[in-house]
Structure 1
Amino acid sequence: MMSRTLWSEAINHPKEQLPDVRGSHEFINDLTRRDQVFSFLKPPFNPKVDVKNNMLLYVEGVSVSFDGFKAINDLNLYIKEGELRCVIGPNGAGKTTMMDIITGKTKPDQGEVWLGQQLNLLKMDEAQIANAGIGRKFQKPTVFEALTVWENLELAMAGDKGTWHLFRAVLSSDQKCDIMQVLELIGLDTHYKMQAGKLSHGQKQWLEIGMLLMQKPRLLLVDEPVAGMTHQEMDRTAELLLSLAGSHSIMVVEHDMDFVRSIASTVTVLHQGHVLAEGKMKDIQDDPRVREVYLGQ
């Protein structure tokens, strides 16, 4: 259940009083169901994202070169609806470039990238791709350190981001409930008044994931989420990502193999911009090619 501290203290939040949600049957059900993500976090239906074959992301025949160096070389990658996929590989394998291509930061020399069967990501810019339902979390947390945890989530909320709108905005009852539920999910419900700059490294990572969730993405790209974390924070991060899988598709790029083992269903190994191996974690660990190029054996 959501902490009493949040409920009692948030009533005095400067925006306005919290809504009376005691009569909301759906809201109470959300709080008491620990086996699934809150219903409001599920991405909104978008008829243009056609996943009738259960495949959300298509990366097909993609290549890109920088000054003669082929960073991505005929890459083929497919992510299913609701899947949690781990991507590993040595430095320079093309992991960051791959995410840059998916999010529109880099355009490939050749190949195709689709969200569902109808949205061609290569014909969209970064903002359009984000609005289509792809959220990206970088390795270093990019939170607004001078703002409170609550204000960071409020600022990230899907909708009009115009400066004038933000200054004039008054949160609706549903929006307040949305923020409180994300606070509960990321474990920062008792820290909502704290400045983000005073959070621990792990808490900042969770806050940034929460900021992405406020935008209700269909696909989350998460880059090295546990770098610099304590073991306890790593365990909490694993629980968080696993709780989101199913309602979201998640691609996690990570070097910490213990963490990958704790969350991975399917693992993709990149090497020299190409898929070297793909499968269950045990099969990846036993693959002699992976041992040679990634594990150093």
Structure 2
Amino acid sequence: MKWLNDFRELFRRDQVWSVMLPKQVDVNLDKNIALYIEDLNVSFDGFKAINQLNLYIKEGELRCLIGANGAGKTTLMDIVTGKTKPDSGSVWFGQNHDLLGYDEAAIARLGIGRKFQKPTVFEELSVFDNLELSLKTNKSVLPTLFARLSHQQDKRIAQVLETIGLTEQRQLAAGALSHGQKQWLEIGMLLASDCRLLLVDEPVAGMTAEETEKTAELLNKLAGEHTVVVVEHDMEFVRSIARTVTVLHQGSVLAEGSMDDIQKNKEVIEVYLGEEHAEGSEAAL
């Protein structure tokens, strides 16, 4: 049908009207800090989930957040992504974006993406289609219905597939992937959407040893070009990727430094040993 092809040609994503294209987001990183969190507080029914928290994440770094259950890790990510509003404090992306003034969709458009512990992919669609849907394009009706991938966008998807190690599975239904592959696909979806700051929640939970090793390689590969914050309970995995580790306890920063520094910190040891004796679990550190 020639008329349909001609109509679709009008909405090619590399030739679509400029007013319909997503706007480029300027993030001021003059001080090399991607995320500023200062004097942050939030309470739920009298429980202090975040307590005078101060945290600074450098542009391009790989930061690990650790802490016992209830330490405030998930609440912190909820605040950064706009799901939860704090009682007080400030959260800035670069020096020019006050995240507390944005909703979840606006924060995502800034280039902040979150990968939850359980993969959230479109299982009936192919790996390629999942990535195509994640591209940062105009999502209004006509461009969505009639637009075709440009050469540049097709190349971008190919690059992401190579990065996450799923080139051979590009036409496979996402539901047929292994658990680890679904995790990588979800990370790839964040990359396809041009995320600059990736918040990754327990990426290796339920993975095989081989998948865990590949995930460590992937996250290390992403750091530098992207800012990556990883929340994880698996200390062996943290040791394999850690450059800087932040320990949260009762909603505040208890300690920060290299993994070696953290393992020698008396306060951190007391917190984890206390949890060990209380629950009869193995020592976390």
- With the shorter chain as reference, the TM-score category is 0.7 to 0.9
SS in 2 for 1:294: helix
Q: CA RMSD in A?
A: 1.5
- Structure 1 position 118, deviation (Å): 1.1
2:163 to 159, 168, 185: 185
State the Cα deviation string for residues 2-42 of structure 1 (Å, max 9, x = none). xxxxxxxxxxxxx9xxxxxxxxxxxxxxxxxxxxxxxxxxx
Match of 2:250 in 1: 272
Alpha-carbon distance in 2 for matches of 1:293, 1:159: 46
* Aligned amino acid, residue 238 of structure 1: A
* Aligned amino acid, residue 224 of structure 2: G
Kindly indicate whether residue 157 of structure 2 is the aligned counterpart of residue 176 of structure 1: no
Structure 1 residues 45 and 238: CA distance shift in structure 2, 3 A = farther
Match of 1:140 in 2: 118
- Structure 1 position 45, deviation (Å): 7.2
SS in 1 for 2:216: helix
* Aligned amino acid, residue 267 of structure 1: V
1:96 to 74, 77, 86: 74
1:292 to 259, 267, 270: 270
State the Cα deviation string for residues 57-102 of structure 1 (Å, max 9, x = none). 0000000000111110011000001000000000011100000000
Alpha-carbon distance in 2 for matches of 1:192, 1:163: 26
State the Cα deviation string for residues 162-217 of structure 1 (Å, max 9, x = none). 35433322101011001111111101100011100010000000000000000111
2:104 to 108, 114, 126: 126
State the Cα deviation string for residues 225-278 of structure 1 (Å, max 9, x = none). 000000100110011111110011110000000110000100000011110000
State the Cα deviation string for residues 128-167 of structure 1 (Å, max 9, x = none). 1111111111110000000000000000111122354333
Alpha-carbon distance in 2 for matches of 1:58, 1:287: 25
Structure 2 residues not aligned, in runs of 5+: 1-7, 9-22, 277-282
2:216 to 238, 248, 262: 238
SS in 1 for 2:219: helix
SS in 2 for 1:221: strand
Alpha-carbon distance in 1 for matches of 2:272, 2:28: 35
**Sequence identity of aligned pairs in percent?**
65
* Aligned amino acid, residue 220 of structure 2: L
Structure 1 residues not aligned, in runs of 5+: 1-14, 16-43
Match of 1:67 in 2: 45
Alpha-carbon distance in 1 for matches of 2:197, 2:255: 22
Report how many aligned residue pairs link the two structures: 254
Match of 2:94 in 1: 116
Alpha-carbon distance in 2 for matches of 1:77, 1:215: 26
* Aligned amino acid, residue 176 of structure 1: D
Alpha-carbon distance in 2 for matches of 1:105, 1:46: 21
Alpha-carbon distance in 1 for matches of 2:187, 2:144: 21
Structure 1 residues 73 and 166: CA distance shift in structure 2, 3 A = same
Match of 1:8 in 2: none
Alpha-carbon distance in 2 for matches of 1:164, 1:107: 35
